[in-house]
Amino acid sequence: MTSFHPIDRRGIREPDPALLSINTATLWESCNLHRAAEAIRRHGIRGIAPWRDRVAEAGLRDAARIVRDNGLVVTGLCRGGMFPAAGRKERRAAIDDNLRAVDEAATLEARCLVIVAGGLPPGSKDLAGARHMVRDGLGEILHYGRSAGVPVAVEPLHPMYCADRACINTLGQALDLCDELDHSASGAVGVAVDVYHVWWDPQLQRQIERAGEKRLLAFHMCDWLVPTRDLLLDRGMMGDGVIDIPQIRGWMEAAGYRGMHEVEILSASHWWKKDPDEVLSTCRIRHQTAS
């Protein structure tokens, strides 16, 4: 499959290998932050995107040192968000946690704080209400992020996560939120585009154009497998599925995106079982041949 759509056929340039970044979720079961950062550096990869629990495990100061010592750029901190909750107290706690996430992202000099909105509060069917809570929560953290120099990147998640993970499900919807919260496009809020979540969207190209350079804060990659055996943990390596990743990257670049290409593969039964060196060397190859 990986050579089925050669990148060069449509005038899309091969990706610069220096733009590869690895989200630590790709090495979930095999590596703590220290091991992940060392392995990533050893493979000549320049970027990392840690999850907050991996940072907490290492300790924030040590995490920042580990990243620095390995010469890595932090393409994003995963993740803030999860705003909707049944009561005021829980909603306030979520906002406070997001403010802490901004601080962590600032300490790590992350390019952005990735936001996964959150789904419906337990027992609720009020989707419009959950979406208002996301808007209000984002509104409460934007100013803090701006003053800390940490842009907030709303990541629309695939509609199959609407109930339990994120009720922001299309790029257009995420950009409507950006327009509402930051209509001058100050750069305080933008979007993270993960091909896994948005590849199906008939409006994808148009919405990437609409976002433009200012709001395209991150680009995440993996692949959609056929069949997909689990809603969360059966994502594929680039080239093993059906997503035309070079096409989407081409749209991002045409819109002005110059950031890194972050590999985030949640794969409980396949890639998480592999040796991290095999995972990372495959990521490097597939970045060139299938992304």
Structure tokens at 209: 């154009």
Min CB(55)–its own copies separation in Å: 27
Residues 163-182 that bind its own copies (CB under 8 A): 163-164, 167, 169-170, 173, 176
Query: Do 27 and 36 touch, CB atoms closer than 8 A?
Result: yes
Rg (CA), the chain: 18
Residues 42-81 that bind its own copies (CB under 8 A): none
Q: Could you say whether residue 214 binds its own copies (CB under 8 A)?
A: no
d(CA 288, CA 56): 33
Nearer to its own copies, 62 or 244 (CB): 244
Q: Could you say whether residue 116 binds its own copies (CB under 8 A)?
A: no
Nearer to its own copies, 5 or 214 (CB): 5
Q: Could you say whether residue 202 binds its own copies (CB under 8 A)?
A: yes
Give the end-to-end CA distance of the chain in Å, rounded to a whole number: 12
Residues 85-104 that bind its own copies (CB under 8 A): none
Min CB(153)–its own copies separation in Å: 19
Backbone dihedral angles phi then psi of residue 76, each to the nearest 5 degrees: 180, 150
Q: Could you say whether residue 136 binds its own copies (CB under 8 A)?
A: no
**Long-range contacts for 12-17 (Cβ within 8 Å, ≥24 apart)?**
12/246, 12/247, 12/249, 12/250, 12/253, 13/253, 14/288, 15/249, 15/261, 15/287, 15/288, 15/291, 17/44, 17/284, 17/287, 17/288
Backbone dihedral angles phi then psi of residue 68, each to the nearest 5 degrees: -65, -45
Angle at 182 between CA 177 and CA 188, to 5 degrees: 105
String of DSSP letters for 226-239: SS---TTTB-B-TT
Structure tokens at 40: 């990533």
- Give the Cβ contact number of residue 88 at 10 Å: 8
Q: Could you say whether residue 254 binds its own copies (CB under 8 A)?
A: no
Residues 217-246 that bind its own copies (CB under 8 A): 224, 226-228, 231, 241-244
Nearer to its own copies, 56 or 86 (CB): 86
Of these, 38, 144, 148, 159, which contacts its own copies (CB under 8 A)? Answer: 159
Q: Could you say whether residue 9 binds its own copies (CB under 8 A)?
A: no
Nearer to its own copies, 56 or 232 (CB): 232
Q: Could you say whether residue 288 binds its own copies (CB under 8 A)?
A: no
Site residues (vs its own copies, CB under 8 A): 1, 4-5, 120, 123-127, 131, 158-160, 162-164, 167, 169-170, 173, 176, 199-202, 224, 226-228, 231, 241-244
